[in-house]
Amino acid sequence: MRVVFMGTPDFAVGTLDALLDAGHDVAAVVTQPDRPKGRGKELLMTPVKERALRAGIPVYQPEKIRKNEEFFDILTGIAPDVIVVVAFGQILPKRVLELPKYGCVNVHASLLPMYRGAAPIQWVIINGEKISGVTTMQMDSGIDTGDMLLKEEVPIEPKDTYGTYHDKLSKVGAQLLVRTLKGLEEGSITPVKQEGESCYASMIDKTMGNLDFTRPAVELERLIRGLNPVPAAYTYLEGKKVKLWSADVMQPDEEYSEEECGKIINTSKNFFEITTGQGRLRINELQLEGKKRMDTASFLRGFKLPEKKG
């Protein structure tokens, strides 16, 4: 097929690779404009743009697609059989959705109709789901509401983080998209309308990472994993911000009063624990402001904690 690929972050790169490996004619890549990042505010290319340039594919970066006559004329001239959309970051207008022969096909990182929206991978971990997956769908004017094409389930392991589960779904989604295009071309796929229970995975705000230790340890441990590696869960130690990367739940049924929550107890040479509303968090990996990420034993060799016993 002649394909226009629309995507922006790392999650989309694997699907672009799969399209190229499958022999599809990727005529153009559309991605978000370069944005300034870091302390130096240097303009950085999106991961999809970097990959497209290495493959010699023309790249377009419209600030907005809606009401953009120049860009629509470019798309019309390319005449794609299908537009593939993976975490692109803009809503497509109706005339773009209807332009290709096979429409616009989206790779969404959840089992629709559950977890529509911007951050499904983070939320399935934060909410303690045991299984999620990937859905390919025919896009319509709604947000992740189009007819479903193919689905594949992917179990969520007990220690999966946003990062590890993201990588699993990226690989699964890439191959599912290739199978989807093959099925559309052969006429072997019957689109299925989304029905039944649904929920929305809203964007993740950095302030979500500020841990409230009056909540149960089980919930906080999931939050730590769901925000790892970005935007990261954190707390404060002697006035300095500390990112928490990994923790285990200890004594999950043990309850603490609000005044007792957030206290460091059971300190040793190799670990320490933090009291919560229900249970304790044993910290495995953390990062003090201005320092490198490290395991707790390494951290404690350079930072003295009070030797309070639980």
Q: 164 vs 120, 169, 210, 225, 227, CA distance in Å?
A: 14, 9, 22, 10, 11
> Which domains does the chain carry?
2-201 (3.40.50.170), 206-302 (3.10.25.10)
Q: What is the pLDDT of residue 287?
A: 97
CA distance 89 to 165: 20
Q: What is the pLDDT of residue 307?
A: 52
DSSP state of 109: S
Predicted confidence at residue 310, as pLDDT, reads: 43
Nearest Cα to Cα of residue 107 among 74, 72, 134, 73:
134
Q: What are phi and psi of 150, to 5 degrees?
A: -135, 155
* Spatial CA neighbour of 84 closest among 23, 1, 9: 1
Each residue's pLDDT, cut to its tens digit, for the chain (310 residues) gives: 999 999 999 999 999 999 999 999 999 999 999 988 777 778 899 999 999 999 999 999 999 999 999 999 999 999 999 999 999 999 999 999 999 999 999 999 999 999 999 999 999 999 999 999 999 999 999 999 999 999 999 999 999 999 999 999 999 999 999 999 999 999 999 999 999 999 999 999 999 999 999 999 999 999 999 999 999 999 999 899 999 999 999 999 999 999 999 999 998 888 999 999 999 999 999 999 999 999 999 999 988 886 554 4
| CA–CA dist 136, 173 (Å, integer) | 8
Q: Which residue has tokens 């629309």?
A: 6
Distance CA 93, CA 130 (A): 35
> How far apart (Å, rounded) are the C-alpha atoms in residues 70 and 86?
23
CA 50/CA 31 separation, integer angstroms: 10
Q: Give residue 309's pLDDT.
A: 44
Tell me the whole-structure pTM to 2 decimals. Answer: 0.94
